[in-house]
Chain A
């Protein structure tokens, strides 16, 4: 009797296994209420749901659940949630994670626990540099690419003399240094720079210096609230109307939308994605808007969509999400292809290569809708936009 039961169990086990869905649990960890809430926030969760829907996960044997949490831009809160998700909640992969310090912490934990981490919101190039990991993929953008594309493409279009307004801390200084190097390499010159305290609300003296320098381009090497304040005040000083170009080295669609085309007109910035690029992006954005209060998707949100889609492809190919390093290795094997970023690939250091675009914010007369904000100035292929593999110092690339 027992023998029969045992036999039956053994015989039926593979059958039921084959029918069972592979469970996949995805965690979206980002800032839901603070400064980056519009940048990625709840919209990233909407994007992840759309990706699961488009992948037709159930038909392909994947049972996907999505959880999310607010890391409040604090590394310790983010690290605690990531650990808990991996250790006791059965989360297989974490997506998004804006704020560099939190992303670096989550990357480290993901590596220790052998899960998968697809970064979209964070910008630090360290994630694919010295602190790269076999469990981390960096989608969407990084600060190197922003500096490289904005600096390089603008010089080629004649913006060959620069003046920087730099937030006085490690991040701002790195942004200025990287962009200066690109400008000089492309034959431009840097006329000077002024450091502003971080955080800062009064940029008037810095902007007057920038105006007085006679530089063709004023580069804003800052982020977040500093960027918003400096763009607003540059608008009041009429920087772009007087013929100088204003280049934000780190800005995004949600910020520009909040500032409106009237304030931000003429601003030049680099992004990997804009909703109104082609039929694929427009179709996605329409569905996204319908699900998310009429807002258009930002680059990090698009990055979460594309990242989830590609991650699920790798999991479906392996039929298991348990071994994070194996899934990420598979993600690097398969070429990336989605309606938002087009065709691309993931490099051995975890860097996703896709086009980057130099955009200029439209003038109020050209803009027909509060979300109709950008016109494309230049398209830079991924291989040129991102840092070369050999320069990152990633130990994985040395092998």
Chain B
């Protein structure tokens, strides 16, 4: 990724310069985003916005690993999809309440992240990517064969249930509120991680690993922690999506989903705080609206990706950040 290094240089410079005014700007954007999320279900179709939120959270988790940890995983669908299966199974077969089902999915995803991560972080660059892809393919074949996933039919008709056993969230708007809360919780957690001393160390490792080793940091541990964190939040997104659509299927563990999250992150802006959200909105909206026109969605997505890479390599938000000389 020779193109990425210049991008990194830009964002790094921006981040190094990150000042109080940047923090204020971020706070303002968060408030704006919260307001947009609050009014969106009345302007757009709520299920569509929920899908965008789930994908945005997934991409944010991925961006944490790629943009800040410098680790390109080609197997993130394993966490997203497997968490969805576990959450759907817990809600449907065990009859757990939605928050416990989501917790189950997220926990399994964290565990999976720990196992896969401990193997994958031993290598770097393309080898890291290939190992994650290979491990994710194993998860895909397990999902295809295992009894509890329902094979190619998936798990269907998952009940949305009652939150904490009290609040009925079967209506779209009630579930929307829950999804929005989960999204912001995840987003703020990631924001906090990025701006913590841990996040600083992470970026330093991304930029110059040998130097960090010589400074006495246990680089492997940091990488493993960020991998597990990323897998956990990806699992949170996958679990929520399973409840939103009331199904879990092979689509979410397929390698194409791993590719899609890379696409979303790059289109939005890798290594930016808000990029993945913008990317998710663009890609999901395309997937949905183009379907109605009968255009070939894949070709359109591909073209958008090519245009993005050719014209603004740093993604939509990365480009804006450079234009206004702020860190976003």
Contacts and interface: CB of A to CB of B under 8 A. Distances in A.
Contacts of A87: 45, 47, 172
A116 to B, nearest CB: 18
Given A105-B245, A169-B151, A171-B151, A69 B294 contact: yes
A310 interface: no
Interface in A109-135: 124, 126, 131
A101 interface: yes
B242 to A, nearest CB: 9
Contacts of A75: 154, 245, 247, 249, 251
Nearest to A67: B292
Nearest to B252: A76
A81 B250 CA distance: 18
B287 A79 contact: no
Given A77-B288, A169-B152, A68 B294 contact: yes
Given A80-B48, A80-B245, A108-B246, A72 B291 contact: yes
B296 interface: yes
Contacts of A108: 156-157, 246-247
A71 B288 CA distance: 9
B47 A131 contact: no
A217 interface: no
A255 to B, nearest CB: 19
Interface in A65-121: 67-77, 79-81, 83-84, 87-88, 100-101, 104-105, 108
A170 interface: yes
Nearest to A198: B144
B153 interface: yes
Interface string A2-42: 00000000000000000000000000000011000000001
A41 to B, nearest CB: 10
Interface in A41-63: 42
A72 B48 CA distance: 16
B247 A79 contact: yes
A42 B296 CA distance: 12
Contact of B287 (A77, A168, A171): A77
B144 A81 contact: no
A124 B51 CA distance: 27
B153 A77 contact: no
B45 A84 contact: yes
Contacts of A32: 294, 296
B145 interface: yes
A96 to B, nearest CB: 14
Given A75-B247, A75-B249, A198-B144, A105 B156 contact: yes
B291 A101 contact: no
A88 B294 CA distance: 19
Nearest to A100: B153
Nearest to A68: B294
Contacts of B151: 169-171
B294 A80 contact: no
Interface of A: 32-33, 42, 67-77, 79-81, 83-84, 87-88, 100-101, 104-105, 108, 124, 126, 131, 168-171, 198
16 contacts: A32-B296, A33-B298, A70-B290, A70-B297, A71-B291, A72-B297, A75-B245, A80-B48, A81-B291, A83-B45, A84-B288, A100-B152, A105-B246, A105-B247, A108-B247, A170-B153
Given A101-B153, A105-B247, 7 more contacts: A68-B294, A80-B288, A81-B288, A84-B47, A108-B156, A108-B246, A169-B152
